Structure 1
Amino acid sequence: MSKNDSKNNPEQPEYEVEIPSREALLEAVESRLKPTTFEEILERFELTDERQHVGVKRRLRAMERDGQLIYTKANAYGLPSRMNLIKGRIIGHRDGFGFCKPEDGGNDLFIPPNQMYSVMHGDKVLVQEQGTDPKGRREGRIVRVIEPRDASIVGRFFIDHDLGIVVPDDSRINQDILIPEEARNGARHGQIVVVTITRRPNRRTSPIGEVTEILGEHMAPGMEIEIAIREHDIPTDWSPATLAEVDKLADEVPAEAYENRADLRELPLITIDGEDSRDFDDAVYAEPEGDSWRLWVAIADVSYYVRPNTALDKDALERGNSVYFPNFVVPMLPEKLSNGLCSLNPEVDRLCMVAEMKVSSRGKLQQAKFYPAVMKSHARMTYNKVADILDGDPQLRQQYEQILTPIENLHELFKVLKKARQKRAAIEFETLETRFIFNAQRKIESIEPVRRNVAHTIIEECMIMANVATARLIEQHDEAGALFRVHEPPSSERLTNFRSFLGELGLSLKGGDDPSPNDYADVLEQVRDRPDAELIQTMLLRSMQQAIYTPDNAGHFGLALDEYSHFTSPIRRYPDLVLHRAIKALLKKVEGPSKALEGAWMYPDEQLDELGEHCSMTERRADDATRQVDEWLKCEYMQDHVGEEFTGVIASVTNFGLFIRLDDLHIDGLVHVSNLDNDYYHYDSERHLLIGENSRRVYRLGDKVKVRVRSVDLDERKIDLTLLSAESPSGKQRLPEPKSKDKDESSGKPKSKRQQKREKNGKVKAKRAKVEKQRKAKKKTTGKKK
């Protein structure tokens, strides 16, 4: 049985003799009422060969490492589920404690500092629940590390009294790493290095590591990107096999690739992208057809060049997506493909997969067909140019006279699609992004807003239509496995928090326990002209679930669509490549094999589940890495503005202070509670505000503020601010003042709680004395009458 196991799972060793499978061993342990000893396992399976004993012991140890079994103090194997053990990942915190995020999706467990000594952020562990801590959080005890973090650690190297130390850049790793002299490998004091752990930490000793890479000096240009890439374990090197495969590719489209493809080279397809884009996934063209529209969306045929299970495919899957940093990209595909053969560059032949759609006058998708084609982009347009052309710029309209009609047709179709979007009440976010403007030394000169224009929304609506069409195609054919882009409704907890936030602003969200996208759209419409509209939109975004990739269609809540997929960016997203292969497989089934359909692939269900989880993870990984770089660059920029004053808005309220978003720059800084007016402040989590105990001063989400930059900590990526003034948009700066009896008459200031309590106790004593005096007097009078 073990030989079959090893074929199914190449990570399992193949044994020379037959031994029980993992499933059989688990069943044996489950069948007993108490943990099972090694001898009992041998007896149950009648294992007499010494080689079988060795094989079973190795398999049991592997099952221990994977958290399937626990080896108890009584030298027996037990089931974690019967010992109330929870498997999960450690999430460290800069203050020394941590959390365990269970694999089953349950609530996190609080891990106290004394339990964090022997584990590190990212470890997979078994945890035993130990009741609750004083704050009411579920608390856990580390039972065992079943899978140590395998990622390298980036940090700054220091020499202190001849002792080498690396301080991790990731604040979630609290332990400094000791570096023996022979393991420094040329690292100098103050440099940024990458280390691997050679000895794990325990309760008495720090982790020991070895320097494996020297990234450079602390403030070197681009260092923030190097750190983020390694901290988030983003692959950057191509395997030798991939490089060899790419070298074999021609610089132009091979002659045999034209066979069995529709020829769209005369169709005036154009690309519309950003000013600095270099990889062009999509081209569009539309024309009226009676009272309806015909829309062509041509997408780069990456699947023709990147075949399943090749070295190139494996590297692309490992990356999952391209990662876009300021002025730097980690591409999913090698440059020869991403910027060359696959990119729909102007005036050159390119292979594509086409979604040709018929759209009604009401913006409804009526028909769609898919086919491989060869195209030639008639122009490489930018969002700004298209917007200016539609605004009537005479010079641009003359320069692009030959494609004016296609651009205007796209604009007319967009108006139809826009109305349909509004009718189905998709949530329309108007987020304001920023970009960094660098000088020649790669230092930030300014931070500028990036505003969307009509051209952005034209392309967005065309892409949404193509993504809906492909999702419907896959939905109609169960055998064609692909990934849907699923965005689920908000959870009940997030919904409650968002409603509480809106209530503080005099707003409400309709829909009860199951609000629709229309209900959210109503909120955005209500606040569109408010000064705190951006903040409300940010809080609405926070209330949403994160979109994921999954083979199970559950619709897209934000777009108010019953089915949605990602088809339009296979150069930079692996799920799109999976979908292209599935479409080709469907076409191949109907039309038969052809050169144009090479790269078709049917994915089994279990593989799709894994692909969905992996691609969702790589997307989150990219988001976290780019956010980290943005925070670092913003801190670097603000170092030159220490002492300067800015206006902003309270974007978040916590028990330790206020996060302020600076106007124009869109940079967040912290006003720590200790830097607020001299008072005791209490945090109201339901209403998102801080209240001064004595002053009754209130700081709430959305308050306009004026601040001064106090300090900037580049290593911690923190900006500390001093609050100069605050004003609520509604004009309410305080809760109702305490009544006059709670004020000190000599100063006119509110009395402290202690003073009020002392006076209250005095009044109670005086009242008791008065009652006692009256009782005695009454008793005395009664006695005389008798």
Structure 2
Amino acid sequence: MLDKNALQQLRQLKTHIVETKDQGEGEVRGSQRRFGFVRLDDNRDVFLAPDDMQRVFPGDRVKITVHTDDKGKFKAELEKLIDSPLDCFTGRYVVRGQGHFVEPDLPRFNKLLFIPPSQRKKCAEGDLLYCQVAQHPFKDGKSQVKVLESIGSPDQPGIEGKYTQRKFKLPRDWPASCGITEDTYLDGREDLRELPFVTIDSAETRDLDDALWAQSNDQGWLLKVAVADPGAVIAPGSPADIAAKQRASSVYLPGFTQPMIPNSISQGACSLLADEDRAAIVCTLQVSVDGDISDIQFSEALIRSHAKLSYNDVHTHIHGEMDLGYPSLNELYAASQALNRYRREHHIVMPEQPDFHFQLNEQRKIESIVKVERNDAHRLVEECMLAANRSVAQWLGDAPALFVSHAGLREDRLDNVRKVIAKELPELGDCDISSLEGYKALIKACDTSESSLPLRSIFARMLQPGSISAEPKPHFGLGLERYSTFTSPLRKYSDLIVQRCIRAKLRGETIQRPDEETATSLQEALRNGRQASNQMEQWLQYQYLATNTSDTVYSARIAHVNGGGFTVELVNYGISGFVEARTITEKLSFDADTLRLHSAHSNYQLEQIVNVKVSELDDFQRKLMFILA
């Protein structure tokens, strides 16, 4: 037997071995192949071999021992599973020989999870499922799932929408008491029903948020933007309000809309329908001949839209090709042009992008894709909405509100931007590009530069994302000191909150200031809704592309570039896919400053037009690879 001293020495030796080990905690990250990585809390990426990757899920938090080989590369040895956030997920039923599995629809998740016989529920190969993890593979590398719902077969009409709703957990049901209480909410408002407000929107739109009117005067134009007022009938904390907050926004999926507010309200009681009395928050602005805004006023009003007009008809009217009979349209157009000129001189005007409209067939698949270019009616409405929204941010001052901010260039890309400036825009060498004024100067210099590089596009790929905040912050993308939005309260809960802040200030009432937690949760919900819409569109787009022959050649615009290749967007369809650099015969070098791949003979740059063909397509996994034609 060992004496006490020997036992103590063994314990100390064991402690010393543990203490001298390079250990850490981090998150498991998958890859396109069977191996993975662990991103440690100290930001090191440690290689995780395929066998160990079989024991964990991407997103798991684990404790590892880090081993370093003779080349200085890190390799992980799994020690402990700390947390596994993966619970419920969607996927596709797969049969491999005698084994039945689900292929999870999760990013960088390259493994099949076993479905035991008791859970197969007469599902067929290819069926889309909603599952729950029943057994984690950490101990023995074997996992199991429980099938919660068979969503449907891939050939079922409309399955893409049903699946997308389940995958992104979009609320599908409304509380029983989600209507409105009829009362005197229209009483005591400023009566503006005689003013010939009109709505301008797509012909099929029913949730009409805004109506416009303008009249010329000695200073320029008096502009009124009337915005639907759902807050007049939806009380804070009511069932309809709770449901709207949970949804955060309307989600526009191909073929149908997932509304934030029940259709009886968003398309009925509060929609600014023609010839109906409606409650509205009205923003009144004096627009000068130069496009400057002064004398900002807000009011709770009663309005009546005199017509529902389409973008195409208004565009035709303002160019004199037809007469819609509403003189204020010409005044609106003139005011919008002045507003646009002012923004170009003092702020930032973002580049326009075309829209793509899907024509769906009876199976709810894409039958055709129509490219829709923006016209002057779209620009008219956009300028009026921007004017009202930047005005409300100014008018609210220090009152409680939510704001939309944009922090400008990413800090980790500032050096790249400065290198480009030194070569292409040397006159901006002393410019503080991290400040709002410096960024505006940068963009204006890009617009007048004779550089052969697409400078605005390059810098746009180096920007931080926008965000919702409870405090006013600069919006670099628009070149504004502060910005808020209230013009889409039927579709965005943050706009409904801002409308309530406007009402509180008008009435001299105290309202609780929204906190950053509220702003963050709304931001996450908005991001989730956008991802749902984008992924369903992508799914249908890839199905549509699969109906063409493999040798079809497409014209495409290079939209993003990295060391592995470049993303292209098909010019006539708006469909995006990836061209791998390794499929190009010559060796290419990546320039991280100008975002281009190049060799002595070739150059692949943002905004460049190339011809491509499809090389690999999987509509369910949303994988689309092109090769140069």
What range describes the TM-score normalised by the shorter chain of this pair?
0.7 to 0.9
User: What is the alpha-carbon distance in structure 2 between the residues aligned to residue 256 and residue 279 of structure 1?
Assistant: 23
User: What is the alpha-carbon distance in structure 2 between the residues aligned to residue 312 and residue 102 of structure 1?
Assistant: 43
Contact between 1:84 and 1:129, CA under 8 Å: does it hold in 2? yes
Structure 1 match to 2:460: 541
Q: Alpha-carbon deviations, 1:337-387, whole Å to 9, x = none?
A: 111111111111111112222333332222222222221111111111111
Equivalent residue runs for 1:709-748 within 5 Å? 709-724=614-629
Contact between 1:232 and 1:625, CA under 8 Å: does it hold in 2? yes
Matched residue type, 1:519:
L
Equivalent residue runs for 1:616-627 within 5 Å? 616-627=523-534
Contact between 1:152 and 1:230, CA under 8 Å: does it hold in 2? no
Please, which of 396, 404, 411 is the counterpart of residue 333 of structure 2?
Answer: 411
1:488 maps onto 2:426 in alignment: no
SS in 2 for 1:245: coil
User: What is the alpha-carbon distance in structure 2 between the residues aligned to residue 646 and residue 132 of structure 1?
Assistant: 47
Contact between 2:94 and 2:100, CA under 8 Å: does it hold in 1? yes
Please, which of 176, 180, 187 is the counterpart of residue 259 of structure 1?
Answer: 187
Structure 2 match to 1:666: 574
* Structure 1 residue 134: Cα displacement: 11
List runs of 5+ in structure 1 lacking aligned partners: 1-72, 75-82, 591-600, 725-786
* Structure 1 residue 564: Cα displacement: 0.9
Q: Would the alpha carbon gap of residues 211 and 509 (structure 1) be closer, same or farther in structure 2, given more than 3 Å must change?
A: farther
Structure 1 match to 2:137: 201
Q: Would the alpha carbon gap of residues 245 and 623 (structure 1) be closer, same or farther in structure 2, given more than 3 Å must change?
A: closer
Equivalent residue runs for 1:263-412 within 5 Å? 263-394=191-322, 397=323, 400-401=324-325, 403=326, 405-412=327-334
Contact between 1:119 and 1:202, CA under 8 Å: does it hold in 2? yes
Q: Would the alpha carbon gap of residues 421 and 690 (structure 1) be closer, same or farther in structure 2, given more than 3 Å must change?
A: closer
Structure whose alpha-carbon radius of gyration is higher:
1
User: What is the alpha-carbon distance in structure 2 between the residues aligned to residue 179 and residue 669 of structure 1?
Assistant: 32
* Structure 1 residue 457: Cα displacement: 1.5
SS in 1 for 2:350: coil
Say which is worse superposed, 366-375 or 138-147, in terms of deviation: 138-147
* Structure 1 residue 620: Cα displacement: 1.5
User: What is the alpha-carbon distance in structure 2 between the residues aligned to residue 121 and residue 497 of structure 1?
Assistant: 31
Q: Would the alpha carbon gap of residues 589 and 369 (structure 1) be closer, same or farther in structure 2, given more than 3 Å must change?
A: same
Identical amino acids, percent of aligned pairs: 28
1:584 maps onto 2:503 in alignment: yes
Q: Alpha-carbon deviations, 1:365-411, whole Å to 9, x = none?
A: 222222222211111111111111011123xx1xx21x2x1111101
* Structure 1 residue 487: Cα displacement: 1.1
User: What is the alpha-carbon distance in structure 1 between the residues aligned to residue 388 and residue 256 of structure 2?
Assistant: 29
SS in 2 for 1:486: strand
Structure 2 match to 1:602: 511
Please, which of 500, 512, 517 is the counterpart of residue 440 of structure 2?
Answer: 517
Structure 2 match to 1:701: 605
User: What is the alpha-carbon distance in structure 2 between the residues aligned to residue 652 and residue 296 of structure 1?
Assistant: 40
SS in 2 for 1:716: coil
Q: Would the alpha carbon gap of residues 350 and 644 (structure 1) be closer, same or farther in structure 2, given more than 3 Å must change?
A: same
User: What is the alpha-carbon distance in structure 2 between the residues aligned to residue 166 and residue 294 of structure 1?
Assistant: 61
SS in 2 for 1:258: coil
Matched residue type, 1:311:
P
User: What is the alpha-carbon distance in structure 1 between the residues aligned to residue 301 and residue 39 of structure 2?
Assistant: 47
SS in 1 for 2:341: helix
SS in 2 for 1:170: coil
Please, which of 154, 157, 180 is the counterpart of residue 218 of structure 1?
Answer: 154
Q: Which has the higher contact order (CA 8 A, sep 6+)?
A: 2
User: What is the alpha-carbon distance in structure 2 between the residues aligned to residue 509 and residue 229 of structure 1?
Assistant: 51
Q: Alpha-carbon deviations, 1:687-721, whole Å to 9, x = none?
A: 544466xxx54342245433333342223322333
User: What is the alpha-carbon distance in structure 1 between the residues aligned to residue 68 and residue 506 of structure 2?
Assistant: 57
* Structure 1 residue 451: Cα displacement: 1.0
Matched residue type, 1:661:
E
Please, which of 170, 173, 176 is the counterpart of residue 243 of structure 1?
Answer: 176
Structure 1 match to 2:163: 227
Contact between 1:99 and 1:108, CA under 8 Å: does it hold in 2? no
Q: Would the alpha carbon gap of residues 329 and 85 (structure 1) be closer, same or farther in structure 2, given more than 3 Å must change?
A: farther
Structure with more of its chain in helix, by fraction: 1
* Structure 1 residue 149: Cα displacement: 3.1
Contact between 1:425 and 1:518, CA under 8 Å: does it hold in 2? no
User: What is the alpha-carbon distance in structure 1 between the residues aligned to residue 321 and residue 165 of structure 2?
Assistant: 42
Q: Would the alpha carbon gap of residues 119 and 367 (structure 1) be closer, same or farther in structure 2, given more than 3 Å must change?
A: farther
Structure 2 match to 1:462: 384
User: What is the alpha-carbon distance in structure 2 between the residues aligned to residue 547 and residue 441 of structure 1?
Assistant: 37
User: What is the alpha-carbon distance in structure 1 between the residues aligned to residue 353 and residue 68 of structure 2?
Assistant: 40
Q: Would the alpha carbon gap of residues 579 and 658 (structure 1) be closer, same or farther in structure 2, given more than 3 Å must change?
A: closer
Q: Would the alpha carbon gap of residues 236 and 94 (structure 1) be closer, same or farther in structure 2, given more than 3 Å must change?
A: farther
Structure 1 match to 2:19: none
Q: Would the alpha carbon gap of residues 442 and 129 (structure 1) be closer, same or farther in structure 2, given more than 3 Å must change?
A: same
Matched residue type, 2:502:
I
Structure 1 match to 2:538: 631
User: What is the alpha-carbon distance in structure 2 between the residues aligned to residue 223 and residue 614 of structure 1?
Assistant: 29
Structure 1 match to 2:33: 95
* Structure 1 residue 263: Cα displacement: 1.3
1:564 maps onto 2:500 in alignment: no
Structure 1 match to 2:350: 428
1:184 maps onto 2:106 in alignment: no
1:168 maps onto 2:100 in alignment: no
SS in 2 for 1:201: coil
Matched residue type, 1:245:
C
Structure 2 match to 1:476: 398
Contact between 1:295 and 1:358, CA under 8 Å: does it hold in 2? yes
Contact between 2:443 and 2:456, CA under 8 Å: does it hold in 1? no
User: What is the alpha-carbon distance in structure 2 between the residues aligned to residue 102 and residue 455 of structure 1?
Assistant: 52
* Structure 1 residue 233: Cα displacement: 2.7
Matched residue type, 2:177:
A
Equivalent residue runs for 1:131-142 within 5 Å? none
Q: Alpha-carbon deviations, 1:7-37, whole Å to 9, x = none?
A: xxxxxxxxxxxxxxxxxxxxxxxxxxxxxxx
User: What is the alpha-carbon distance in structure 2 between the residues aligned to residue 323 and residue 488 of structure 1?
Assistant: 26
Q: Alpha-carbon deviations, 1:116-165, whole Å to 9, x = none?
A: 54543455x47679699999999988887666436631111134444331
* Structure 1 residue 544: Cα displacement: 1.9
1:644 maps onto 2:528 in alignment: no
Contact between 2:553 and 2:612, CA under 8 Å: does it hold in 1? yes
Contact between 2:579 and 2:626, CA under 8 Å: does it hold in 1? yes
* Structure 1 residue 685: Cα displacement: 4.1
List runs of 5+ in structure 2 lacking aligned partners: 1-13, 16-21
* Structure 1 residue 578: Cα displacement: 0.8
Q: Alpha-carbon deviations, 1:258-294, whole Å to 9, x = none?
A: 2211111111111111222221111111112322432
1:112 maps onto 2:19 in alignment: no
Contact between 1:429 and 1:537, CA under 8 Å: does it hold in 2? no
Structure 1 match to 2:8: none
Say which is worse superposed, 359-368 or 651-660, in terms of deviation: 651-660
Q: Would the alpha carbon gap of residues 135 and 380 (structure 1) be closer, same or farther in structure 2, given more than 3 Å must change?
A: farther
SS in 2 for 1:633: helix
User: What is the alpha-carbon distance in structure 1 between the residues aligned to residue 517 and residue 227 of structure 2?
Assistant: 25
User: What is the alpha-carbon distance in structure 2 between the residues aligned to residue 274 and residue 509 of structure 1?
Assistant: 45
1:452 maps onto 2:360 in alignment: no
Matched residue type, 1:521:
K
